[in-house]
Amino acid sequence: MVPFLRILGIETSCDETAAAVVERDAEGHSKVLSDVVLSQLDEHSAYGGVVPEIAARAHVEALDELIEEALARANVSLADVDAIAATSGPGLIGGLLVGLMTGKAIARAAGKPLYAVNHLEGHALTARLTDGLSFPYLMLLVSGGHTQLILVRGVGQYERWGTTIDDALGEAFDKTAKLLGLPYPGGPAVERMARDGNPDRFNFPRPLVGEARLDFSFSGLKTAVRQAAQEIAPLSDQDVADICASFQKAISRTLKDRIGRGLQRFKAEFPVTGEEPALVVAGGVAANLELRGTLQALCDKNGFRFIAPPLNLCTDNAVMIAWAGLERMATGAAPDTLDVQPRSRWPLDSNAETLIGFGKRGAKA
């Protein structure tokens, strides 16, 4: 039987500095003892996006104090944790270096094993922490850097069924917001404006809708938004709201087709799973209420359970990193050596074809 385990998690892959302490009992039940996140939004908002050098310096300045705070909130010391888990990729290399080197130093000084965690695996396994979900299940990862549909077979066992062939969905939201003069971060700004807009005013394209493959494309949609804005410039507030609403509608219809095909494939490959099949959505874009509503309705129609972890566990956080480390420990996986290196690209499915959004360096990556 797997013993009771407690782990300290560290996350620094982009523009949130985070630390957390999480427990896992012998039956696999979890308990989050602390969850500390420091956002760098103010540092990057003036630039309309994340500046890697600024992010790395901010991690250096904040991480030690956040780790101390996470331990204090959990009412534990380093002697009370069984291991250290730190994000090792994918992400901005400067931030990854800060978090992983800190994790190595703590592991060496405290005599604890180190688990270098794939950030995407943290997202993939979060639903097991929050909802006790059993394998297998589907995960839609939608963030600023990734748009992927992944089959989660087990810890360390992932198959990429679909990915973006150009822009990630979060990137499309951010670039659309910037084009329309909306503030950073773009996703929430577009969603706010869309509430007062007419979603039928502009007939934006639904890329790849109707195709059998499960990939995504958002570059053409982004171009259509720019052309529409140029044709009616100068834009009124209502024009912006209508563009945002029509943009969101196009994305919702695209996801309905793409994910709907994925759900049908899952049912064909796993006709009997012992429980209701599940679709998990993760990543910052998962906070968009219209997209959540589209996915919920799609799951209801196809007999799937729809799981969207709490927002604080959809965006970057150290709880998911700690949990991924605990899941690996529970399988008996060996810890990483202290010479493990950070990886700016690190695909969950190393056998999949190299494409943008896949997380593996290639001709276009």
For 268, other C-beta atoms within 10 Å of its C-beta total 8
Is 262 labeled as ligand-binding? no
Dihedral of alpha carbons 180, 183, 187, 192, sign = negative
Both structure tokens of 298: 């799609």
Is 166 labeled as ligand-binding? no
Is 316 labeled as ligand-binding? yes
Percent of the chain that is helix, strand, coil (3-state, to 5): 45, 20, 35
Is 186 labeled as ligand-binding? no
Is 144 labeled as ligand-binding? yes
| d(C-alpha 220, C-alpha 208), whole Å | 10
- N-term to C-term CA, the chain: 43
Is 145 labeled as ligand-binding? yes
Burial of 220 (0-12, 13-18, 19+ CB in 10 A): middle
| d(C-alpha 68, C-alpha 297), whole Å | 43
Is 362 labeled as ligand-binding? no
Is 99 labeled as ligand-binding? no
The DSSP string of 174-222 is HHHHHHTTPPSSHHHHHHHHHTTS-TTSS----TTTT-SS--B--HHHH
Is 174 labeled as ligand-binding? yes
Helix extents (H) in 111-179: 119-131, 169-179
Pairing verdict, β 5-11 and 83-89: parallel
Q: Which residues of 145-178 are buried (b: 16+ CB within 10 A; e: fewer)?
A: bbbbbbbbeebeebebbbbbbbbbbbbbbbbbbe
Is 143 labeled as ligand-binding? yes
Phi, psi of 221 (to 5 degrees): -65, -45
Contact 185, 196 (CB under 8 A): no
Q: Is residue 234 reached through a cis peptide bond, with omega within 30 degrees of 0 on the bond before it?
A: yes
Both structure tokens of 2: 């797997």
Contact 305, 146 (CB under 8 A): no
For 78, other C-beta atoms within 10 Å of its C-beta total 15
| d(C-alpha 101, C-alpha 291), whole Å | 37
Binding-site positions for Fe cation: 119, 123, 316
Binding-site positions for substrate: 141-145, 174, 187, 191, 288
Binding-site positions: 119, 123, 141-145, 174, 187, 191, 288, 316
